[in-house]
Amino acid sequence: MPTNRTTIYRGIPASFGKFYGKALKIISSNHIILQTFIKEADIKVEVTKFLKALGRTKKELEAIISKKSMNQDIKDILVSQICMLDDPLLLDGVIKKIQENHENAALALFNTIDQISNKFTSLNDDYFSERAVDIRDIGRRIEDNLLGRKSDYNILSAIKEEVIIVAHELTPSQMIHIDKKMVKGIATEMGGKTGHMAILAKNYSIPTVVGLNKITSEIVDNEFILIDADEGVVIRNPVINQIKYYGSSSPIKAIQEEEVSSFTRDGHHISIKVNLDSENDCELILKANADGVGLYRSETILIEEADKIHDEEAQFHIYKKIAADMKGLPVTIRTFDLGGDKFDTRHKEDNPFLGNRGIRYSLKNPTWFKKQLRAILRASVFGNISIMIPMVSTVSEVIKTKKLIEECKSDLRKKRIQYADVNIGIMVETPACALALDQFAKECDFFSIGTNDLLQYTMAVDRNNHYISDLYNPYNLSFLRILSMIIETSQKYKIPLGICGELASDTNFTILLIGLGLKELSVSLPLVKKIRKIISRMDILQAEVLAKKIMKLSEEEKYVEIDSFLFNKHIN
């Protein structure tokens, strides 16, 4: 409800910056639903849309039931779903909300399904709890037919004015399609500072705060709010003193000054590479004078069109463009990292973060995995490409992948298609991998630390769970020790090591990471200049002394002191 009282919602800062502007409230169920209310003249159109979607859903179910091979138990379930389509609770409930509340068809359907399923769930009866699941399922079917699979992309890419998105959560696939010029802030109830939505927000330089309790139930569509992602707050009805200094504020101001080098004051070179999400951003990387691409998240090409997973030619052209556009600079392509919160593998898992994801999923699907590997090998002659394997737990996964790569090379030789020799490395992001890194050194050309997953698996904490976000703590001694161990092992076996997780882009960590022994950072593009500036003002000895001090404070669990100490050391 609208209010004139100033309210401060506190959350977790995920991508820095400030903006004062209009809220665009969206509901995300099976699709994104704008909280829009319609005019009297549009009521008939919205009712018709709903009834047509209902009709299409009924035809779909009837077509499935008519298959001779259909199991009788499944037929019974689908017949019961068809009966639900004619239930007055659903039919009349949606139409009433359209006619009386002036809700659009999608919003009316969402609210009606929510209302009915909650009513069933509240009865605390197993039978009715199962019916609640059924009603939500039929709701998703109707919604698919009402909105269509590509509706999310159209909504997010066609925003007409500058807004702050307010939502329960946003998925990475939705983030890829947002209009980066019009979305000036993101405020969500769910998510963590290193979830993939937050990573993309940082790459797009969109101020973002996550873990904001009850914000979607209280913020009203189109009201003006202030997002301060530096402090991790969203302010409703801010006072004039709060907004007059903010207005429209970019998260990172353009620095008009002479270019600084990536050398420390005592002459040590630190390689600064970039994490890449789109093949169209290579020119920006070259302009930033970065040392290459430390991580190309290849799974982002599946966001637009999942079928590209089967299209070797389409993948080849994307990898070729990146390799050529980077003009000989190194490009590390991570093979598809599917599962977790990044890409739906369409297999229901109770805990997808500990499930069939990353290289596990790829090795179980060798036919399309080899298409990706062949596409990368074909593109390798156009630049300086390396292949990186994600979510590795066992040495056998590396060996199996290398065997598939050799099979792909053989396929290409038979067709007389050229390829170059490529380095093969791994993401070190599981404790199983980190603790046996000496064994992986026998099979790998390079390592790259994925701090996001490594931290969550070390601490046994879901990084997107804001209820226990205090446990997702990179200052924890166990995590710092495992980082040190990875660095020491890579140095002992002379395996090149980089870091491409979110800590690499956290400017409060720059000196600490270098003090621990890292010499290559792969960061978000907007932070290249800022991190290079920090490097140019430090020396290695200073960084090593700082790292020892942080270790000592971590032993005593003095995390606030660590935060304050690191912040003050990194002030420009």
Q: How far apart are CA 171 and CA 154, in angstroms?
A: 15
CB 497 within 8 A of CB 448: yes
Q: How far apart are CA 543 and CA 467, in angstroms?
A: 33
Tokens in use for 168?
């329960």
Q: Tell me the β-bridge partners of 455.
A: none
Total number of residues shown for the chain: 572
Tokens in use for 467?
């209820």
SS3 of residue 511 by DSSP:
helix
Active site residues: 196, 500
Tokens in use for 531?
């991190």
SS3 of residue 258 by DSSP:
coil
Q: How far apart are CA 442 and CA 120, in angstroms?
A: 57
Nearest to 334 by CA among 428, 202, 243: 428
Tokens in use for 479?
């995590």
b/e per residue 269-283 (b: at least 16 CB within 10 A)? ebbbbbbbbebebbe
Q: How far apart are CA 348 and CA 71, in angstroms?
A: 20
Q: How far apart are CA 535 and CA 512, in angstroms?
A: 11
CB 236 within 8 A of CB 210: no
CB 111 within 8 A of CB 103: yes
Q: How far apart are CA 217 and CA 1, in angstroms?
A: 9
Dihedral of alpha carbons 480, 482, 485, 490, sign: negative
Phi, psi of 483 (to 5 degrees): -60, -45
CB 340 within 8 A of CB 364: no
SS3 of residue 163 by DSSP:
strand
Q: How far apart are CA 482 and CA 476, in angstroms?
A: 10
b/e per residue 531-548 (b: at least 16 CB within 10 A)? bbebbeebbbebbeebbe
**Which residue is listed with tokens 């003095």?**
558
Phi, psi of 21 (to 5 degrees): -170, -170
Please report, for residues 254, 259, 323, 382, the alpha-carbon distance to residue 286 in angstroms, rounded to integers and kept in the order given: 16, 13, 12, 17
CB 202 within 8 A of CB 177: no
Nearest to 460 by CA among 486, 483, 479, 433: 479
Q: How far apart are CA 463 and CA 502, in angstroms?
A: 12
Please report, for residues 392, 495, 528, the alpha-carbon distance to residue 447 in angstroms, rounded to integers and kept in the order given: 11, 7, 21
